[in-house]
């Protein structure tokens, strides 16, 4: 049942190209436009939406953080992403023009369910992004966009996360498509690039041996830090979460720009720091800034593990370890940059003798608040 793998987690990591492709299947028409008729909120109602609020927990929350960048860019709608467990206690401002997106693999997470109930009571529309057919969260939502990751058995979410990202991009692009923004051409191009992205995920999986080797060599460390900017920031948080829950190590993710406001004090000789580097194309200012962040931490003794696009030569002099990922559009990069971090955490945890499918103190579905 583990398909020849030692752990479900390894099987599920390997299934990601298919999970991504399956989640796109049937949702892009022959003309290259999105068809999301299954989302039963009529286009005229979606056109009236004036704010998007995303609620989710854990790994699903990280996909929601990435969705915020995509939604604000392609739709020009204000978007907030909030931890479901914090949401209703702050009496959030919601009305019938608010679209609330609840993201959940299991569809049973109590924090997320309570947040969506609160949103509906205030008159907001709720769209669920969910991997489990007929579970409670989609049943209680106005509409649902299912992710097609297939059953996820390992406690730590991997393939569900990638498909949540795909679903978030679909929602962002679809809202952009029906509302019409100045990014119309870019939206069409990105839909096409998204339809081809599973090949890039496959490509990453084929080059993971050096990452596994590196992970094993770090098994004796106590701390690993993760840095990113823009959509690389939630990826850094996700890399740290995976390492915490699987390897039981102190792992923290930071927005690289925040480093100088405090966390840089943590850097000491030999400390492994993983840096997720944005594409040098497009937002090149961002790229230059992260290169200086890498220089700064390296000058203070950090052992830098750099995840960067193929052809990005600027990072080479400052990378103690370089992990290459395929060139992707800026906003889609998390689909490829997350994969090495999953492999890294899984291998490091195994090297420390942990059961990666059943980490201590955790359950697959958290049905208490
Ligand atoms: C981490 C992980 C958890 C879940 C979170 C939400 O690897 O799996 O953080 O993402 O408990 O679960 P769902 O998506 O089922 O609502």
Q: Report pLDDT for 37.
A: 87
Q: What is the pLDDT of residues 49-100, one digit of tens each?
A: 999 999 999 999 999 999 999 999 999 999 999 999 999 899 999 999 999 9
* Rounded distance from Cα 213 to ligand 1 centre (Å): 27
Question: Hunting for tokens 């704010």 — which residue is that?
Answer: 51
Q: How far is the CA of 311 from the centre of ligand 1 (A)?
A: 34
Q: DSSP letters along 155-171, please? A: SS-SHHHHHHHHHHHHH
Q: Could you tell me which residue, 358 or 165, shows the higher pLDDT?
A: 165
Tens digit of pLDDT for each residue in 218-232?
Answer: 999 999 999 999 999
Closest ligand 1 atom to 61 CA: 10
The angle formed by the CA atoms of residues 249, 250 and 253, to the nearest 5 degrees, is: 120
- Burial category of 287 from C-beta neighbours within 10 Å (exposed 0-12, middle 13-18, buried 19 and up): buried
Q: What is the pLDDT of residue 283?
A: 67
The beta strands (E) that lie in 78-167 are given as 79-83, 98-104, 125-130, 143-146
> Are 277 and 318 contacting, i.e. CB atoms less than 8 angstroms apart?
no
**Minimum-distance ligand 1 atom for the alpha carbon of 155:** 8
Q: What percent of the chain has pLDDT over 90?
A: 91
91, two tokens: 């009496």
Q: Give the closest residue (by CA) to ligand 1 atom 9.
A: 58
Are 304 and 290 in contact by the 8 Å Cβ rule? The answer is no
Count CB-CB contacts under 10 A for residue 48.
13
Question: pLDDT band for position 284 (50/70/90)?
Answer: confident
Which residues face 126 on adjacent strands?
100
Q: What is the CB < 6 Å shell around ligand 1?
A: 57-60, 104-106, 109, 112, 156-157, 241, 245, 365-366
Ligand 1 nearest atom to the CA of residue 106, by list position: 15
Convert the pLDDT of each residue in 232-253 to its tens digit.
Answer: 999 999 999 999 999 999 999 9
- DSSP labels, 20-61: HHHHHTTSB-TTS-B--TTS-S-HHHHHH--EEEEEE-HHHH
ipTM of the modeled complex: 0.98
Find the 59 Cα to ligand 1 centroid distance in Å.
Answer: 5
Task: Choose the residue to mutate in 9, 12, 60 for probing ligand 1, maximizing ligand atoms within 8 Å of C-beta.
Answer: 60
């Amino acid at each position: 049942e583990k398909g020849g793998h030692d752990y479900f987690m390894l099987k599920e990591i390997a299934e990601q190209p298919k999970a991504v492709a399956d989640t796109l299947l049937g949702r892009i028409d022959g003309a290259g436009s999105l068809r999301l008729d299954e989302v039963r909120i009529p286009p005229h109602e979606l056109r009236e939406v004036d704010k998007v609020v995303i609620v989710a927990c854990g790994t699903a929350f990280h996909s929601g953080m990435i969705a915020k960048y995509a939604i604000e860019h392609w739709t020009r709608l204000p978007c907030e992403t909030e931890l479901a467990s914090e949401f209703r206690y702050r009496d959030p401002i919601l009305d019938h023009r608010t679209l609330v997106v609840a993201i959940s693999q299991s569809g049973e997470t109590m924090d997320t369910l309570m947040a969506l109930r609160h949103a509906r009571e205030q008159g907001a529309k709720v769209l669920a992004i969910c991997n489990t057919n007929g579970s409670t969260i989609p049943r209680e939502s106005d509409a649902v966009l299912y992710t097609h990751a297939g059953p996820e058995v390992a406690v730590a979410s991997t393939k569900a996360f990638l498909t949540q990202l795909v679903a978030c991009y679909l929602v962002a692009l679809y809202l952009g498509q029906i509302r019409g923004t100045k990014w119309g051409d870019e939206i069409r191009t990105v839909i096409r690039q998204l339809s081809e992205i599973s090949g890039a995920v496959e490509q990453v999986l084929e080059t993971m041996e050096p990452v596994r080797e590196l992970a094993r060599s770090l098994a004796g460390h106590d701390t690993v830090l993760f840095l990113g900017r823009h959509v690389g920031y939630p990826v850094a948080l996700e890399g740290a979460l995976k390492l915490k829950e699987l390897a039981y190590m102190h792992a923290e993710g930071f927005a690289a720009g925040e480093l100088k406001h405090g966390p840089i004090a943590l850097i000491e000789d030999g400390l492994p720091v993983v840096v997720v580097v944005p594409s040098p194309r497009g937002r090149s200012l961002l790229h230059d800034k992260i290169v200086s962040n890498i220089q700064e931490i390296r000058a203070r003794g950090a052992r830098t593990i750099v995840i960067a696009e193929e052809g990005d030569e600027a990072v080479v002099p400052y990378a103690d370890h370089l992990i290459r990922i395929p060139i992707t559009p800026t906003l889609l990069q998390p689909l490829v940059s997350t994969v090495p971090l999953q492999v890294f955490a899984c291998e490091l945890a195994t090297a420390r003798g942990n059961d990666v499918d059943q980490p201590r103190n955790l359950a697959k579905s958290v049905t208490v608040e």
